[in-house]
Structure 1
Amino acid sequence: MTSADTPLRPCHGPAAEQDAPRRGRPRSEAAEQAIYGAVEKLMEDGLGLSELSIERIAAEAGVGKATIYRRWPNKEALLVDVVARLEEPMPPPAGPTYRDDLINAVDYMRRRGLIKRTRWVVKSALGQMNTWPELKQVYHERVVHPRRAMIREIVRRGVAAGELRADVDVELLCELLIGPILVRTVLWDDAPLDDPDLPRQMVDAALQGIAADRARN
C-alpha cells in the first residue's frame, strides 16, 4: 500500500480541535470563553503579564495555539481585550440626588476592588501603562474615560443645583471625591474595603470640605 492509499487516523486533542472545520458561532464563543477564562485563572494565580505566553494560555484553556491566533494576532492584543473585559462599565446614575450617585459610584469601585482578579488587573495595567502604549490607550478609552465622564456629569449636577461650589474646577472636584477609593483599591493592598458604609463616609467627608456655604446664600 502506498502512502497515498494509507487511511488517515482520527486525531484527538488540541491539534484536532484547531484543525477541525468550524461549525458555527456557538463553538467559536465557547473557545473564546475558555481562552478568557484561562488568562483570568493564570492572572489570579499571580502570573505577571510578561510571564503569560500563548503556549501557557492555550494549555490552560485546553485549545491549540492556532485557536488563539485565529482570534488575536499576538499575546498583547489578547491581554488588552482581557483587561477591558474584566473592567465592567459603571452602572448609570439612578439618583435621586447627586450625593446618592456619588456614593453608588464609590461603592461600585469598592466592590470591584474586593475582587482579587480586578485589583490585580488594575495594578498591572497601571504598572504597564508607560511601556505598553496599546494597553494604555485601550484602558483609558474603555475604562478611565467613561468613568470620568460619568463622575463629571454627577458633579456638574451638584454644582448646577447649588450643592457644590461653582468656583472650584470640576476636574479637581472629581479627583477629590473619587481619589480616596482609588488609593485604597490600587495603591494600598492592606486597606480595608469590606465596610459597606465606607463609600458614604468618603463622599460625606469630601462634601464637608467642598459643599457650598449656605450661610452666604
Structure 2
Amino acid sequence: MEQAVFDAVVGLLEGGVPLGDVSIERIARTAGVGKATIYRRWSGKEDLLVELVRSIEPPDPELPGTSVRDDLVMLLEFMRRRGLAKRTSALLRNMFAQMQAHPRLWEHYHRTAIEPRRRRGIEVLERGVATGEVRADLDLDLVNDLFIGPLLLRTVLQPDADLSPDFPARVADTILDGVRPRP
C-alpha cells in the first residue's frame, strides 16, 4: 500500500500536477486505496510528502565515532550524495522547489529532516570540544554552518560546481585547521 501511494504521488507530480493540487483524496483515487487507508498511515499530506522525499534521499549515515574529523567527513559525504541525487532527480528538484512554496510543508520537512541533521553535526562538534579536537570558545552553531555551507553552496546555488568524492574531506580538513585548539 505504501509503495502504491508513493507511486501515485510521483505519478501526479511527474504528470505536471502542482503540489498544491495534490490532495489526499486525489492520491487515494490515483493509488486505488481509500482515504482512510492513507490517514491510518500518515496524519496528512505533509507527513506523506516528507516521508516520500526521505524515501528517495540516501539514508542518514552511521557515524564511525573514531574522530570528529571522520564523523564530519561522513556527514559531509552524506550531504554530497544528497546533492548529487538532487542534481540527477527531476522529481527531487521539483519537490524541493514546490515544498518551499508551501510553508507548512517546508516547516515540517525542516523540523523532521533538516533540524535533526543539524543537531547531529552540532553533537559531533560538542564531542570534539569534550575530546579536545575543537576549541571550547567557539559558537558551535556557527562552526556547524561553516561545515555545511560549502556543500549547500555547491548543491543549491552552484549546481554545476565540483562535488568530487574528496570534497567533504577537503572541507572538513580546511575548517578543522581553524577550529582546533591552539598550542
**Residue 95 of structure 2, aligned match among 112, 115, 121:** 121
Q: Is the 8 A contact 2:23 2:45 kept in 1?
A: no
Identity %: 39
Partner of 2:168: 199
Against the structure 1 CA distance between its residues 165 and 114, is the aligned structure 2 distance closer, same or farther, given a 3 Å change threshold?
A: same
What is the RMSD computed on CA atoms of the aligned residues?
2.9
TM-score (norm 2): 0.77
Contact 2:63 2:71 in 1 (8 A): yes
Higher relative contact order (CA 8 A, sep 6+): 2
Superposition TM-score, scaled by structure 1 size: 0.66
Deviation at 1:190, TM superposition (A): 2.8
Aligned to 2:38: 71
- Report the alpha carbon displacement of residue 203 of structure 1 after superposing the two structures with TM: 1.5
Superposition map of 1:1-217 within 5 A: 31-43=1-13, 48-53=18-23, 57-58=27-28, 60-61=30-31, 63=32, 67-68=34-35, 70-72=37-39, 77-87=44-54, 90-115=60-85, 116=89, 117-125=91-99, 127-128=100-101, 131-133=102-104, 135-193=105-163, 195-213=164-182, 217=183
Find the structure with the greater CA-based Rg: 1
CA contact (8 A) 2:24 2:35 kept: yes
Alignment gaps of 5+ in structure 2: none
Secondary structure of the residue that 1:189 maps to in structure 2? Answer: coil
Q: 1:82 to 1:173 in 2, by over 3 A?
A: same
Q: Alignment length, in residue pairs?
A: 174
SS of equivalent residue, structure 2 residue 44:
helix
Structure 2 CA distance for partners of 1:41 and 1:132, relative to 1, 3 Å: same
Deviations 1:124-167 (A, max 9, x none): 33x23xx533x244223321221122111111122222222221
- Conserved 8 A contact 1:122-1:186: no
Provide runs of 4+ in structure 1 moved above 6 Å: none
